[in-house]
Amino acid sequence: MTREQSKQFLTSLGIENVTEEMITNHLNQINSAIKSERDRADKFKLEADRVGELQKQLDEINSKGLSDVEKANKATEQANAKIAELERSLKKMQTQKELAELNIVGEEAESLFAEDGSLNFQTLGQILTNREKAAATAKEKELAGNAGNPGGQGGSTPPEKTDDVKFAEGYAKRMAESDKATSDALASYLK
């Protein structure tokens, strides 16, 4: 993911004034999630290798009474089952990596997979719909914040002062001038 894509994503979430620090933090989180998924995939691979070794030992124990043809058939059947399992696991990991690049990670990403490892498109559609709604809401807020008030007044002009505020300001100004005049008169006598 590029810095520009990250900035667009953060903006679509409703974050205004996206800073370089926010973009860097976001990219670091994504890279961390991708690294975590890769580490997890490596762990599964090691476990799969270990399972293969244990299965081989079990097969040797079980095969002591089988004929060569039966042994070959059983080995082929087990190898095919293991290949299918590893292919499903690999496909799921590749899909998770692609989802991580689209900022769909963690529980959100896990919720997309069915029991058999296939992608649940209905859940994916819901996630995308929610993100589009969030982006639209953020854009509406941005546009509403920049728009003026109905009737032609701009949104950035201060409201007109009420009579009591005008009176208080005038009174404070007269008092300040009166104090200055008093100070000046007293200073002239003290010289």
Q: Tens digit of pLDDT for each residue in 41-97?
A: 888 888 888 888 888 888 777 766 667 777 788 889 999 999 988 888 888 888 888
**What residues contact 18, with CB distance under 8 A and at least 6 apart?**
7, 10, 11
Q: Determine contact, residues 113/87, Cβ cutoff 8 Å.
A: no
Q: Tens digit of pLDDT for each residue in 48-63?
A: 888 888 888 887 777 6
10 Å Cβ neighbour count for 175?
A: 10
pTM over 0.85: no
Q: What are the counts of helices (DSSP H) followed by strands (DSSP E) for the chain?
A: 6, 0
**Cα 49–53–57 angle (5° rounding)?**
165
**What residues contact 66, with CB distance under 8 A and at least 6 apart?**
74
